Amino acid sequence: MSGRLKLNRRRFLKTAGAAIAAPYFIPSRVFSAPGRPGANERVIVALIGAGGRGNSLTKEMKRSEIGHEAEIGAICDVDENRLRSSLRDYEAGVMPYRDYRYILERKDIDAVILGTPDHWHAVQTVHAAECGKHIYVEKPACCTIEEGKAMVKAVNNAKVACQVGSQGRSQREAYLAHRYLVNGNVGHISKVWCFHYASPADNNPVPDSDPPAELDWDFWLGPLRWRPYNRKYLPGSFRWMMESGGGQIRDRGAHVMSCAMWWMGADGTGPTEIEATNVRFPTQGVWDACIDMTVTYTFKNPDWVMIWDQKGDSLNPDAPRGEKRVAGEDEISREGYGAIYHGDKGTFTHWGGDGGTWAERKAREWVPPAGFKDVYKSPGHFEDWFEGIKSGAKTIMNIEAAVGVANLTVLGNLSAVLGRKIQWDQAKGEIVGDEEARRLMGRPQRYPYCL
């Protein structure tokens, strides 16, 4: 939907009048039905957050089946050096921005990929939706319960396609695992034990300092309350700040628990009680996310528990090692996380859960009998997003599902921070019986970086 737009016949007939008067660069909105490109049109995408992850997302998109349908129209970052160096990964003429809001004003941009730190996900998703942009936002969706509610509302009001980056759901072996489980091969599942290794501690803390000249610290902080710059906060290490990344439970929990909620048919449901135990916090530095933690989520009707168990330097000592694969099979390169599903007829294990998801052999070798129950097979995470953009279909990791998973991680951390159980009312989307915890369902945001 750019100047390089190839008009198909249907589209040509529909828009000929406008095209005659159009300049060389034809904004997408000149031609399209409100916000929804046609089947043969290119989608102009902007990358917001041109760091390591953001740039790899655009590469993944270009490599995917829909790569030829996508064009990068702009990139954005609050670090001038990073922005400058990222430009070389794209085509000539791609516009660089520090302020994502310039991108949202551009009528020719159809969609945005948000590769920013977690504390920006909600605000930028809401703003992008309000401007009619389709959204691919990295996981976890939100940092607070209230952010999640605002994201769902904004995306639904705008009727845009939103895909959240828990791409485990779109992996081939995830499909095999899902199919295996829903066909009762391990029986009724009463427990899902998610394993992961620990979050890191900072053993070399540094004092706060002035930010480097190339970094817009105010903009990096965005909605977070102000604090002095410390070089341990970024770039990737925002992951270990409770207010932003929230540690492994929010990083990989948003993958492993995403698979669990999908395969258990539990999207849209939630636990009644959340309790963090075995919690170990860092003893120094600015990283404050839990090093070790065990979080138990109790679900009712149907009754089951999910446990997030995070410990060990590079491997959870209680976790199974990655299954040996034979020649020609996809090697398990991330055995440090995954889950075991405990049913009344057996167990099932998977490793990974993100862009690498590996199912135990018995699920891979299972031959479905006649009349088996099949499940949705994603064509790929970006492909599924583009299908949502073009047809309006719900994406596999849609905003409701993603907020549901992010809420699990938020509530787990909240229980750890407060040192007590949390009672949760899923229907209302609220914590009950604990005034302090209720106040922490949201956090006021700095103006103008607010929902």
Partner 1 sequence: MSAKKWKGAAIATAAISAALASTAKAADALSLDELIAKIRDKNDKVRAEAMFGAGKVGARAVKPLAEVMATDADFEIARAARRAMWQIVRSVGRPGADRERKATVAELLPLVGEGRPAAVRREAMWMLSEIAGDEAVAPAAAVLKDKELREDARMVLQRLPGEKSLAALKAGLAAAPEDFKPNIASSLRARGVETPGIPNERRVPKKSTDVKPLDEAQLEKEKAAKTPRRRGNKQ
**Restricting to residues 20-59, which ones interact with partner 1 according to CB under 8 A?**
51-53, 55-56
Q: How many CA atoms lie within 13 A of 248 on its CB side?
A: 30
The region of 123-131, 298-306, 386-394, 395-403 touching partner 1 under the rule CB under 8 A is 123-131
Q: Which of 258, 253, 252, 268 is nearest to 301 (CA)?
A: 268
Residue 107 makes contact with partner 1 by CB under 8 A: no
Residues 160-179 that bind partner 1 (CB under 8 A): 165
Give, in order, the Cα–Cα distances in Å from 152 to each of 110, 146, 172, 353, 431: 19, 10, 28, 24, 18
Rounded distance between C-alpha atoms, residue 39 and residue 11, angstroms: 10
DSSP designation for 405: H
Residue 430 binds to partner 1 (criterion: CB under 8 A): no
Binding-site member from 273, 417, 426, 429 for partner 1 (CB under 8 A): 417
Q: Which stretch binds partner 1 (CB under 8 A): 190-198, 294-302, 366-374, 432-440?
A: 432-440
Q: How many residues bind partner 1 (CB under 8 A)?
A: 72
Q: How far is the CB of 174 from partner 1 (least distance, A)?
A: 17
Q: Other CB atoms closer than 10 Å to residue 113's CB: what's the count?
A: 30
Instruction: Return d(Cα 42, Cα 4) in angstroms, integer.
Output: 8
Nearest approach, Cβ of residue 41 and partner 1 (Å): 24
Q: How far is the CB of 185 from partner 1 (least distance, A)?
A: 31
Question: 151: which residues sit within 8 A by CB, 6+ positions away?
Answer: 121, 122, 125, 126, 129, 141, 142, 162, 399, 403
| Angle, helices 399-418/145-158, rounded to nearest 10 degrees | 170
CB nearer to partner 1: pick between 102 and 229: 102
For position 235 contacting partner 1 by CB under 8 A, the verdict is yes
Stretch that binds partner 1, among 153-161, 236-244, 263-271, 374-382 (CB under 8 A): 236-244
Using CB under 8 A, pick the residue from 225, 300, 321, 325 that binds partner 1.
225
Among 187, 212, 236, 265, binds partner 1 (CB under 8 A): 236
**Stretch 195-214 residues interacting with partner 1 (CB under 8 A):** 205, 207-208
Q: How far is CA 218 from the centre of its chain?
A: 24
Binds partner 1 (CB under 8 A): choice among 60, 80, 108, 323: 80
CB of 408 to partner 1, least distance (A): 17
Q: Cα separation of 450 and 251, whole Å?
A: 23
Q: Kindly tell me which residue out of 327, 369, 428, 435 binds partner 1, with binding defined by CB under 8 A.
A: 435
Burial of 110 (0-12, 13-18, 19+ CB in 10 A): buried
Question: Which residues are bridge partners to 109 per DSSP?
Answer: none
Does 399 interact with partner 1 (rule: CB under 8 A)? no
- Residues of span 311-370 touching partner 1 by CB under 8 A: 354
Beta carbons within 10 angstroms of residue 95's beta carbon = 16
Residue pair 255/350 in contact by the 8 Å Cβ criterion? no
Quick one: which segment of 3-11, 229-237, 262-270, 305-313 binds partner 1 (CB under 8 A)? 229-237
User: Considering only residues 60, 108, 130, 267, which one is a binding residue for partner 1 as defined by CB under 8 A?
Assistant: 130
